[in-house]
Structure 1
Amino acid sequence: MKTLGKDAFAAAERYMELHARLVDRLRFAHAFGGAPGELVRNAVAAYQNLDGGFGHAIEPDLRGSAGQPQGVEIALGMLEGIAAAEEPLLLRACDWLAAHSTADGGVPWVLPSVLGDPRGPWWQPQGEEPPAALNPTAPVAGLLHAFGVDHPWLGPATEYCWGAIAAVGEVEAYDAMCVLGFLERVPDRERAEAEFARLREPLRTSAALDPDAPGHVHSPVDLAPRPDSLGRRLFSDEEIGVHLDRIVEDQGEDGGWAPNFAMWTPVVVHEWGGYLTLARLETLKAYGRID
């Protein structure tokens, strides 16, 4: 079993200091140094527009200032365990979601307003009135349930997610992570367990079990970033162990972890690098792999 030693952790900390965005540096200080969560909350709030949406490259590949549904997902993920249910920032985000939802209660993958923004080339809206999508409606709804938020958007969005998940057969890794993000947080545990049992095999096969798989793939630990993750039940101890070992091995000479997807402009290299390095450190910590 490989672990991240003292010097390797110090190198990762140095990487964060030199390269990560302020919001990710503060998240690192909160997760590993006991810094106040309020500092993280304040940094996340800087990405929120007056209409409640999150933009300004909080999702690094979406460089525009206008809000996008993916920006809300990133913001809520950063605030999990920090913000309370009555946090105004969360409620304003819900107002924005309600204003940009489709008739069936969900939000699209990306809004047409993105067409005027610098962005990764894969961010293309599905027409002038794009349909709702599990990515990111499901993880957004799941996170809001975890916060305990009471807002009119959440009920219809939850029903949309149940309906969309019921229609799922085969699933690719991004949607698998979205489905798991919803199922592990939604209050109706009996229904969530039933859907998890039905989708167990397609969820499992969405991950690349081979740690040497090339390209932009997702590993078992991407679906199970903590031992108490719902996705952890999809994989054996040996499978998780192999991929935790690989995380330790994949630390770069600069102390960080590099993305395995296309870097379309230089600025995103370290913005994603800081975000991913923190995620890898949190996973190693959760599994007891940091000395």
Structure 2
Amino acid sequence: MIERRLFEFYFDNGTSEGVFNAVYAYRNPDGGFGHGMEPDTASPESQPLFSIMALEILDEVGYLTKEIILNDFMPYFESITTEKGGIPWMFRPKSNYPCEEHFKTVKEWAALSTTAPLLGVLEKYKIDIPWMKKAEEFVWNEFERIKDKHIFCYLCVSRWLTFLKYTKNQNKAKKTINNLKKWIMVDGIICKDKSDDGWGLYGKPHSLNYAYSSESVLYSLFTKETIESDLKEIINKQENDGRWNTWYGISEGTKLEWAGIQTLWALKILKNYDKIEA
């Protein structure tokens, strides 16, 4: 339903309120979001990643406000903050709902990929609360610790950039962004084999996974020829029924859910680059 509401928002004059209602259907009494918001787990309990996703979606459609962040999101995030000052990526599901194996063994320690975007959103909305001080120390320490690890995960990189764009420490941010650019262009990170079934999916990124529009911080990494070539290949990979598939999914049903997510992503990319006829 979230993807359907987002499709309406971007392509059919839908409202941000419709997106908000779809997102909040996944919200739990503790303020976190669960219930299989990402198809890899149908477990109902709140997850940090799903709660970050909810925050990002509301920001994306212009529905998020300072009041919503402070009243609806921060109590949950503060309740799961670790001693290091960050929030975990995921918790191991406590129920017997289907889930991918990697969720059953996930490390429940603080993560850069969730803490950084949360801090970025707080800075964007001019919020200043005590929680942020230790969290920011954690984020800078994590950048130094992991360096080029996970650079292949374009979802992580985009979330890091949310923080780097809005942090007050722009000197550090610029140096970190320059490092990210250097690491992304290391041979083997970008998947150049367009015939690979995993091309453009997790672990095998192409240019558009990083440069989602010409306004992207990372757009300058790629030539116009590369961008155009990858756009053409995205169009070529559309299935006859209109979808873009992934290899993700623990069942036929969740594979369809992932296809919906991937299809929305592809359509937004094509729209960003003016490849969809009005």
Per the normalisation by structure 1, the TM-score is: 0.82
Which gives a bigger RCO, structure 1 or 2 (Cα 8 Å, sep 6+)?
1
Q: CA deviation at 1:253?
A: 0.8
Q: Which residue of 1 is the match for residue 101 of structure 2? A: 121
Structure 2 residue corresponding to 1:98, chosen from 78, 87, 92: 78
Superposed, 1:128-167 pairs within 5 Å as 130-167=108-145
Indicate yes or no: 2:207 matched with 1:207: no
C-alpha deviations, 1:206-264, integer Å up to 9, x for none? Answer: 332443344342222112212212222322222222211111111111101112x3321
CA distance in 2, matches of 1:118, 1:178: 27
C-alpha deviations, 1:182-229, integer Å up to 9, x for none? Answer: 323434333211211123221334332443344342222112212212
Q: CA deviation at 1:113?
A: 4.0
CA distance in 1, matches of 2:26, 2:207: 31
Higher mean Cα deviation, 51-60 or 229-238?
Answer: 229-238
Contact 1:84–1:147 (CA under 8 A) maintained in structure 2: no
Distance change in 2, residues 1:182/1:116 (3 Å): farther
Indicate yes or no: 2:47 matched with 1:60: no
Per the normalisation by structure 2, the TM-score is: 0.86
CA distance in 2, matches of 1:288, 1:187: 33
Contact 2:248–2:255 (CA under 8 A) maintained in structure 1: no
CA distance in 1, matches of 2:128, 2:185: 33
Q: CA deviation at 1:98?
A: 1.1
- The count of corresponding residues between Structure 1 and Structure 2 is 267
Please give the secondary structure, in 2, of the residue aligned with 1:80.
helix
Q: Percent identity?
A: 28
Matched to 2:112, the amino acid is L
Q: Which runs of 5+ in 1 are unaligned?
A: 1-21
CA distance in 1, matches of 2:91, 2:143: 22
What is the CA RMSD across the aligned residues, in angstroms?
A: 2.3
Please give the secondary structure, in 1, of the residue aligned with 2:268.
helix
CA distance in 2, matches of 1:155, 1:226: 32
Q: CA deviation at 1:101?
A: 1.5
Q: CA deviation at 1:277?
A: 1.0
CA distance in 2, matches of 1:72, 1:150: 20
Structure 2 residue corresponding to 1:255, chosen from 237, 242, 255: 242
Structure 2 residue corresponding to 1:271, chosen from 246, 253, 257: 257
Please give the secondary structure, in 2, of the residue aligned with 1:122.
helix
Superposed, 1:13-52 pairs within 5 Å as 22-52=1-31
Q: Which runs of 5+ in 2 are unaligned?
A: none
